[in-house]
Structure 1
């Protein structure tokens, strides 16, 4: 095991050394603390380094103790280990396993006290990586926690928090060439296409066919938002007809779908006519449901991508910030469309309107290509 304050002999190796080697930042923390034990006057030249930046709790306790203990004058420090005794006494309440032997180990682990500021920057960089991973984990949790009363609002709030953290990260660490991470991206998670999601998408297509004028006010919804690609392609057919100001009904949509090569043995003209036959509710309601699912799915994908960056220790803070901003852009764009959808005024309707909250869907037979086995 690597040297640790709670070990009886910090220099003794155990069988765990091969399976749990200490990360590079562990040696940076040891080197910095050793430098400060040797030359306590260097405490004032470490910039914004804070105790919580240390990964090892005992090291954090030592650094806190150094800031709360009076620094001896240089001559006194050379003659007696007064500084070491003060630091050890101040740190022990938070780290009872600390020993005088480990403090001497830290002194020996410091290659050069004059490099203390460089060691401090290494510790700050690793802390930034850990914090970015925590933000990604919170975003993933918000996107997948079914118990949240309003997961979309939680995702938006966490997205803003993550963006603010990236601003701070960019300002704290200098840019350098090679700013994009070379970390391979994890495979894209497949969108969940449960029966409820598919029913909502079918409802949107039927309602949009029956009330096509509403699509002009629904530019916040895009074909890629649909869980089933076929439904997204049919939605693109509808928006194309609206854009060209052509008549819209089930037959004209069928004709457009034929031109887009969407019909085949498993999705026949009769299947499409049946899908569009029974509109229930309003396009806006079903569109919001589809967009909400897309928002949560994109948030989860973004979190996984950022987490992959943080898992790669080769990435510098600047690379982490740049790569994370790039993958966050898609989520930010989708968030903007969600805000536009949910803050837009409801469209007037001449018919005895079904409320935008939407009715409960009845179970209807699904076309062969969209049926999901339970």
Structure 2
């Protein structure tokens, strides 16, 4: 989505978006620098990429390129202003001398240049964080990727590294958690929903037929299922296998009754038919379900971070803390995915005792002691 500070690209000039506070911060900063160029040394952490407006980014690059005059020399003439304008105009033809005059008039206090620069850096952090979150959402919903989980986890790591870079740049303050409400999870598309339900049904039937596979699938949790009944039936299977009791469609149905799953569920005959139609491997279906859960979790995290960045009341430090808290929700399911997809460790043969030949004693160099005979 376009940032409010970006130049408007539409044709309807009556619907121009109103300028945001950062727009006035950029104008005030340029006014301060045009009046007192020596203040460029006080904002060394600011770069052209931090500006949301292309013309402003180009102008700042020109200021960094043209040698800064001394305060006395700058007070005598406007040579530096002309040189900066000439440097910037090839990349930003819209810049004019009159606009530089407007920038100078927009600066309340030149000595506040560092504060204006801090505002610009904070807004840039918000924009970049939104881009990272947008990318996370896009990857999580891209069905053309050969390995979507690997791609989404890599983007989550990139987002985490960016948050690590941001954290030292902004001062902590009380109330560091954002107050922005989390958006509700979006409903899955109809075709994706049906596919997920089919995979869950096949998992339940196959796990009922091969309950020994359930014991190795501790990485699959009820929250990974899209249908509450399927999540409850999976809990029934796990409970039966842990108690080492017989597992078949009837025993699963009996366990489901005790857990209150049959009150608003399907007909019992339909449920028995569902549990009696195995296909393939339970672990294979479980990985499909877990993969869908990983992508859904990543997508929801991306939307939560987007909501933080779109709330103008959220401070930069709150953005960092809230985004880190949201990203931490991916860690448990990432760990479970690694357990599910890691190859099983090779079992080593048990060592047996008593099979090796007895070790020979060292040769004696002295005669053995005489046995004492009791009389």
Judge same fold: TM > 0.5, yes or no. yes
Aligned counterpart in structure 1 of residue 154 of structure 2, from 145, 153, 157:
157
Distance 1:182 1:265 in 2: 37
The 5 A counterparts of 1:282-321 are 282-321=281-320
Show the counterpart of 1:21: 18
| 1:96 equivalent in structure 2 | 93
How many angstroms apart in 1 are the aligned matches of 2:215 and 2:19?
A: 59
Distance 1:265 1:22, change over 3 A: closer
**Comparing 192-201 with 118-127, which one deviates more in the overlay?**
192-201
Separation of aligned partners in 2, 1:124 and 1:161: 20
Q: Does residue 327 of structure 1 match 2:326?
A: yes
Query: Cα distance, 1:280 vs. partner?
Result: 1.3
Partners of 1:100 and 1:19 in 2: CA distance: 24
**Residue in 2 aligned with 1:134?**
131
Q: Is the 8 A contact 2:38 2:69 kept in 1?
A: no
TM-score, length-normalised on structure 1? 0.86
Residue among 140, 145, 151 paired with 1:143: 140
Residues 26 and 214 (structure 1), Cα distance of their counterparts in 2 relative to 1, 3 Å cut: same
Point out the more displaced range, 149-158 or 241-250. 241-250
The Cα offsets for residues 269-324 of structure 1, whole Å up to 9 and x where unpaired, read as 22221111121111110000001111111111111111111111111111011111
Structure of larger gyration radius: 2
In the comparison of the two structures, how many residue pairs are matched?
337
1:18 to partner: Cα distance: 7.8
Contact 2:129-2:309 at 8 Å conserved across structures: yes
Aligned twin of 1:125: 122
Deviation at 1:184, TM superposition (A): 2.0
| Aligned residue number for residue 218 of structure 1 | 217
Structure 1: give runs of 5+ residues left out of the alignment. 8-14, 349-374
In structure 2, the partner of 1:242 is 241
Q: CA deviation at 1:335?
A: 1.7
Partner of residue 174, structure 1: 171
Change (3 A) 1:301 1:206: same
Equivalent of residue 31 in structure 2, options 34, 55, 67: 34
Residue in 1 aligned with 2:353? none
Unmatched tracts of structure 2, length 5 or more = 348-375
Name the CA shift for 1:144/1:347 in 2 (closer, same or farther; >3 Å). Answer: farther
Name the Cα RMSD after superposition.
2.1
Partner residue of 1:62? Answer: 59
TM-score normalised to structure 2 length? 0.85
* Structure-2 residue corresponding to 1:365: none
Distance apart, 1:190 and its partner CA: 2.7
